[in-house]
Amino acid sequence: MQKTVFGRFVFDKAFAMLLLSGFLLGGCQSDASKLAEGIEAPAPPVAGNTSEVIGNGENEIALLLPVEADGNLSADERAVRDGAALAVNDLGGKYTRLNVVSVPLEPSQAQTVFKTALASKPVALISFLPASLSVELTAKKALPPIFNLTSSSSSQGANIYGMAVDLAAEERMAIAATVAAGKKSFVLVIEDGYPADFVGTLQKQIVSAGGSVVQILRYPADIKAAASSLAKAKSAIKNADAALISGNTAATPAVIKTIKTANPGITLIGASDWPSAAYTLPEANGALVTSFQRDNLAGVAARFGSQFGYAINNYAATSYDAVALVSGLIRANGKSALSARTLTSPKGFTGTTGIFRFNKTGKIERKAISYVVNDNTLKPLEELDQAF
C-alpha cells in the first residue's frame, strides 16, 4: 500500500530532553556520509493486533494502522509500527506508552475505531489519515495533536500535522541541478504503487526546469519482473540523458543495474526513498540523491536493523520522529508542551529525518540537501544546515 510519500538503547536523560532546534530527537549524531545501516529485507506482513501496548509510560500515544483485507499489516505499516516502537523504547520511559490499534479498511468501521481511540484521551495520535476523516476531525474541538503519515495536503486541518517525506520536493532539487548541467531528457522510472499525481508532479517539474520526459516506465516490486519490464524499454533508456528512479523495495537496486547496463553514461537521480542497498551498487556511483539531512539517521538505523532484522525506511523514520517528538516534549515540559504554539515553532526540530518544522496549517517543512553516491557512501554536496 503506497501512502504519500532496536534492542533497547539507553539515552542520557539530559540528552533526551534537548529537543528544540539545534538538538536531536532521534539518536546520536553520525557522519553524514555514512549509509543507513540495517539488514536489507522487506518488512514481513504480520497479523494486525486489535490492540498492542508497548511501553508503560503514563501518557498514551495512539498509533492507528490500517490492516489489509487478510487482516495483516502490510510491509509499510509494519515499518511504521516498528519505528514507533523503537522510539517509545528509546525515549518513552515513564512518560509515554504506545497503543497500536488495527484499523479496518471499510470507511465506516475505520471512523468508529478512530472515535474509540480518541475517547481514550491519548496525548497524541499517529496514523495514515484519510482525507474524509481529516475533514470530520477538523470540525471537532479539543483534539490531541494528530500526526498524519499520509502525504496528501487534503489530509490536514486544525491540530493535524503532516509527517510524510515530500519526495517530489526532494526530486525537484535534483531535476533543476541535472537540467542546469545540460542533461535535459529524462526517463521516469517509478515503482508500481506510487500514485499518478506524484508522477504528474515530476513531469511538470522536469518541463518547468527546461527538460523533457522521453518515457514513463513503471516497474513491479518483484525483482525479476522489474528487470524484465525495463528490458522492453532499452531504446528509451539509451536515448535519455537522465533516469529519475523512485522506489523503496528490493527491486529498486535491480532497476538501477538494468538502467546502467543499458546506458552506462546515463545520469541517475534518486531521493530518500531508495533502499540502502541501492547505494552499495557499483552502478550507483555518481548518482545524484536529494534527501533530508541524514546525519542523525545512522545510529537509529543500526538499532532498528539489529532489533527488527531489516533496513529502516522513510515510514519507520517518520513514525520514529513523531513518537520521539511527543515523548521528548512531555519529558521536557509536560503535556502542556503539546500545544500548537510549541509544535509550530519557527525554530523547528531535529530528528532522524533531519531538520523539520510545521507551519500554521500543519504542513511539514523539511530541510533537504544534495548527495552523490561515491564508493558505497552518500557524500553531501553542500554544507549541512543546523537550523532553519
* Lowest mean pLDDT segment, chosen from 40-54, 95-109, 134-148, 182-196: 40-54
The model's pLDDT over 199-255, given as tens digits with 9 standing for 90+, comes to 999 999 999 999 999 999 999 999 999 988 898 899 999 999 999 999 998 999 999
pLDDT band at 135; cut points 50, 70, 90: low
Q: What percent of the chain has pLDDT over 70?
A: 82
Q: What average pLDDT does this structure show over 244-267?
A: 94
**Is the model's pLDDT at 36 over the cut of 60?**
no
Query: How high is the pLDDT of residue 66?
Result: 86
**Is the model's pLDDT at 50 over the cut of 70?**
no
pLDDT band at 47; cut points 50, 70, 90: low
Task: State the DSSP code for 194.
Answer: S
Report residue 342 as a C-alpha cell: 510549541
Distance CA 251, CA 260 (A): 15
User: Which has the higher per-residue pLDDT, 300 or 227?
Assistant: 300
**Is the model's pLDDT at 30 over the cut of 50?**
no
Question: At CA 191, angle to CA 204 and CA 256, rounded to 5?
Answer: 95
pLDDT band at 351; cut points 50, 70, 90: very high
Q: Is 340 exposed, middle or buried (0-12, 13-18, 19+ CB in 10 A)?
A: middle
Q: Mean pLDDT score of the chain, rounded to an integer?
A: 84
pLDDT band at 38; cut points 50, 70, 90: very low
User: Which has the higher per-residue pLDDT, 15 or 54?
Assistant: 54
Model's pTM, two decimal places? Answer: 0.86
The model's pLDDT over 118-130, given as tens digits with 9 standing for 90+, comes to 888 999 999 987 6
Distance CA 84, CA 373 (A): 29
The model's pLDDT over 302-327, given as tens digits with 9 standing for 90+, comes to 999 999 999 999 999 999 999 999 99
**Is the model's pLDDT at 154 over the cut of 60?**
no
The number of beta carbons lying within 10 Å of the beta carbon of residue 233 is 20
Burial 52-85 (b: 16+ CB within 10 A, else e): eebbebebbbbbbbbbeeeebbbbbbbbbbbbbb
Query: Does residue 162 contact residue 155 with C-beta atoms inside 8 Å?
Result: yes
Q: What average pLDDT does this structure show over 133-157?
A: 69
Query: Does residue 119 contact residue 112 with C-beta atoms inside 8 Å?
Result: no
**Is the model's pLDDT at 12 over the cut of 50?**
no
Query: How high is the pLDDT of residue 67?
Result: 83
* Lowest mean pLDDT segment, chosen from 8-17, 165-174, 222-231, 236-245: 8-17
What domains sit in the chain, N to C, each tagged with a CATH number?
Answer: 13-165+295-367 (3.40.50.2300), 167-271 (3.40.50.2300)
Strands 72-73 and 146-148: unpaired
Residue from 274, 283, 267 nearest 250 by CA = 274
**Is the model's pLDDT at 58 over the cut of 90?**
yes
